[in-house]
Chains A and B, each alone.
Chain A
């Protein structure tokens, strides 16, 4: 009887807790954190944002969220912590935003990693990770090589022997070109003396799609982080052959490349950087906070669960590491000559585009020729059945276009709250409204409402 009482009290408490989470979920507000120690003399005054330079899902996003959880669980900062995603161009878009827009802003942190460093090199972007303020390296992940369960390859040696004999016959599935998967296999080929242009690397949009191709026996072998392949092994569809680790500490049954006679150790690392131009105190606080977070139980659990290696390295040492790593990667990229690699000889990146361009010309000929002959266009707009539609005119379209260019500029220079009411008002005029007062009121109310919805409810920042 007593026990039952306890359970019901417990479940009531749980219900209250859940209701609270639901309420805060409705407002999308994270509860305020209690104050942490501020031995370094600076503490964040606003909420701290961790930028994941990728779309939601995937390794960088995951790292950002685990760090966020550790910081929250340990109450390391007095304000809230949020994660935002800024995907695109392998992370270089987020990097230039961090460097340009957030310069001197200590409330921003960004996840970075091997792939971002390499993407910046490949795109010859203006900034490298050293343009930002390196805070700490967090994790390292070994690359692993797997084959489909029915593959004839039972050992890493067998696979590598065939790779050495006829490299083009072995297709390797992995993530996008220039990422850690490709760089790793190209490095391996270089160490084995195989010409890099013969490496038959098939790039997929993400690790998931590459894994599907591997499981479906579409490719000879696949490359991915150990943590991504390991769960798939349990399904019995793929077999791990090797790992890019130093030794067999992670998995004693899995041979390293060194065991197979190839002197390669490769770690796909991830870390945190902050914007440039921070004061020493701000930087010290961020380093201290991240250091504390990585020793927390929550973080250590995350590492263990994901089979990530704790490769913590803070501040200046991390900066040095970024520099050496970058020099190494640059050498590999130069060696592989991106445009020649990974492609069968007949197809380059511009083959398809030429076909499309040619086809466009042909199709254009089909509709321009009759028009030229007839000299008058008498087509009825079939796809729009209401023939009462007014047609747009070009002068008005030009005005609309102009209104938008102005809107973007005003947005950029004076922000959403000033630009939008003016814009709404102007557009209402353009669409033909005559109610001046109503439009003015609506312009301001709508702007306010949209601002509140995005900024506070959805927590999506407006320009």
Chain B
């Protein structure tokens, strides 16, 4: 598999299998469905694939997986559309895209934002597929080196890097992050089975997960903000937004760097089991801002603020295929469903899959390239159509957002309890915004808090209660040092009004 010429001949054969008109049809269907579920809050690629599973029994595995690949990549892009246009991300991994995507739309440049998102998604997905093809076995070795202490340090670093993504007051960002971590602790504790902070409400036993949080804090939060008197519905630029879909030379260059960095970060975060697209997009945004010459412009609507996270979440989707194909371990909810699909076809992902069903694997890889191209071809013409959405009166847009959010939350477990959670988070978001607290760190806390806590406690279990395990492992120590430097930098810069800490962030990008 590592021999370049055999890779070439294999992938050509793969393209021959995947490129039949019939398979292309499945690819197109997958991308369209994926984009649709990406747009709808609450529904994601995992749900879409599991809905289609029973129908694919009669299909050739190749056709089925081409469709699934299309759904996965399509969904990762789809969430960006509504994030940019109406400030309501369709999926958690597009939450970051609202930071600069929506301000761009307000400036009348929704077309530009969608353009950089689409190209970013394409680059992220394509590069991830290339890496998957060339170095899956090597990457797996690296991923396995990550034990609980390394995960703990990495997640902590991610939290620190990203908690300061907004331009808000540092102490308020910290408070919002901690609040998110606290909300993330609600529910059954994984290590002991103890039910925490649920006040006897069974609906809270399974906790507030990141999907609910993204719907509540962002989609419902935005609609509530508008309905309780916020917003600027009479902005003329905004409604004319879709007509222009251009970037100037400097923006192409800046997007180019953002796509590249976002892709690399997203891919590696995706390879690590259990982290996923949301973390990838947050980290890409955080790093992009740390490296930028004008970090203060982030949040005001600049292209790299959209380019980086959108490239990153698609690259993460590709990255999560690495542990699935090379080890048979699902790294995300979507790949967990794909694993079931493999097993229903009598295939066992893992090193032997390449030997036993090489044709299928290469066809799958080829189809991932194809679905990426389809993603661009299908979605570019749609940009104008989407932008038309802005011509609708806000009353209708946000009513629809609320109804879709309600159904999205309901569809997860079929419980009105989740709908209640989403609304409570929506109210929380409005109150926090009213008092100038940033919302994104709350989501980040909900996402990362439980991971940090569990990895911390796993580390201590493994070491028998010895805290030194967190600093004696080299990789973990490096991550912690960067995190520490970043905190010091943030405190320093918030005191003096400067934004520094450029050096530590560079290390991360490497």
Contact = CB atoms under 8 A, between A and B. Distances in A.
A68 B167 contact: no
Contacts of A348: 192
Nearest to B176: A363
28 contacts: A25-B52, A30-B55, A55-B336, A56-B47, A56-B337, A57-B340, A62-B340, A65-B53, A83-B53, A88-B413, A88-B415, A203-B191, A204-B190, A215-B144, A301-B346, A346-B460, A349-B191, A352-B456, A356-B178, A360-B182, A391-B434, A397-B224, A399-B228, A400-B227, A427-B402, A443-B399, A447-B403, A458-B51
A72 to B, nearest CB: 7
Contact of B190 (A177, A345, A377, A391): A177
A432 interface: yes
Nearest to B351: A235
Interface of A: 15, 17-19, 21-22, 24-26, 28, 30, 55-58, 61-62, 65-66, 68-69, 72, 81-90, 92-94, 96-97, 122-123, 125, 168-169, 171, 176-178, 200-206, 208-209, 211-213, 215-216, 218-219, 231-232, 234-236, 301, 305-306, 338-339, 341-350, 352-353, 356-357, 359-360, 363-364, 366-367, 377, 379, 381-383, 385-386, 388-394, 396-397, 399-401, 404, 407-408, 411-412, 420, 423-424, 427-428, 430-433, 435, 439, 442-443, 446-447, 450, 454, 458-463
B171 A367 contact: yes
Nearest to B144: A216
Interface of B: 22, 25-26, 29, 37, 43, 46-47, 49-60, 63, 67, 103, 106, 143-148, 166-172, 174-175, 178-179, 181-182, 185, 187-197, 202-203, 205-206, 223-233, 235, 273-274, 299-301, 323, 327-331, 333, 336-337, 339-340, 343-344, 346, 348, 350-352, 393-396, 398-400, 402-404, 406-407, 410-416, 419-420, 423, 427, 430-431, 433-434, 436, 438, 449, 453-454, 456-458, 460-465
A392 B228 contact: yes
A32 to B, nearest CB: 14
Contacts of B58: 17, 21
B344 A69 contact: yes
B301 A231 contact: no
Contact of B458 (A30, A61, A202): A202
Contacts of B25: 22
Contact of B185 (A344, A356, A363): A356
Given A56-B50, A69-B57, A88-B205, A430 B299 contact: no
Contacts of B453: 352
Contacts of B273: 208-209, 212
A396 B229 contact: yes
Most buried by A among B188, B333, B402: B188
B340 A213 contact: no
B132 to A, nearest CB: 17
Nearest to B296: A382
Given A305-B346, A352-B185, A390 B403 contact: no
B470 to A, nearest CB: 12
B229 A392 contact: yes
Given A69-B57, A89-B202, A420 B340 contact: no
Most buried by B among A341, A392, A463: A392
Contacts of A218: 147-148, 462
Nearest to A122: B193
Given A97-B414, A411-B416, A231 B348 contact: yes
Given A356-B178, A411-B416, A439-B395, A58 B26 contact: no
Contacts of B169: 367, 379
Most buried by B among A61, A216, A364: A216
Contact of B328 (A169, A232, A347): A232
B330 A168 contact: no
B205 A89 contact: yes
B175 A364 contact: yes
Most buried by A among B169, B235, B406, B453: B406
A88 B331 CA distance: 19
Given A212-B327, A424-B399, A458-B43, 11 more contacts: A22-B26, A89-B187, A96-B202, A234-B350, A338-B192, A342-B461, A349-B189, A359-B178, A367-B171, A367-B172, A393-B228
A206 B232 contact: no
B436 A90 contact: no
A68 B346 CA distance: 16
A439 B438 CA distance: 33
Contact of A177 (B52, B146, B175, B193): B193
Contacts of A391: 229-230, 434
B436 A381 contact: yes
Nearest to B400: A446
A428 B339 CA distance: 44
Contacts of A25: 29, 52, 55-56, 67
A231 B174 CA distance: 45
A84 B414 contact: yes
A18 B51 contact: no
Nearest to B188: A89
Contacts of A301: 346
Nearest to B187: A89
Nearest to A344: B465
B430 A392 contact: yes
Contact of A235 (B59, B171, B350, B399): B350
Nearest to B103: A385
A93 B197 CA distance: 17
Contacts of A69: 54, 57, 344
Nearest to B179: A360
A86 B395 CA distance: 33
Contacts of B419: 408, 411, 463
Nearest to B175: A363
Contacts of B103: 385-386
Given A61-B340, A178-B193, A382 B420 contact: no
Contact of B330 (A28, A57, A363): A57
A149 B294 CA distance: 50
A400 B461 contact: no
Contacts of B143: 212, 216
Nearest to A383: B166
B172 A231 contact: no
A93 B205 contact: yes
State the 4 A-B residue pairs at the shortest beta-carbon distance, nearest first.
A57-B336, A344-B465, A366-B171, A88-B206
A28 B190 contact: no
Contact of B413 (A93, A234, A357, A450): A93
Contact of B327 (A232, A306, A352): A232
B181 A58 contact: no
Contact of A89 (B49, B174, B206, B299): B206
Contacts of B196: 349-350, 353
Contact of A339 (B145, B167, B194, B431): B194
Nearest to B398: A431
A423 B403 contact: yes
A61 B46 CA distance: 12
A21 B398 contact: no
A442 B399 CA distance: 10
Contacts of A431: 226-227, 233, 394-395, 398-399
A90 B187 CA distance: 11
Nearest to A432: B395
B168 A86 contact: no
A56 B231 contact: no
Contacts of B404: 450
B52 to A, nearest CB: 6
B310 to A, nearest CB: 20
A454 B195 contact: no
Contacts of A18: 22, 59-60, 63
Nearest to B238: A386
A84 B414 CA distance: 10
A123 B188 contact: yes
Contacts of A432: 233, 394-395
B205 A205 contact: no
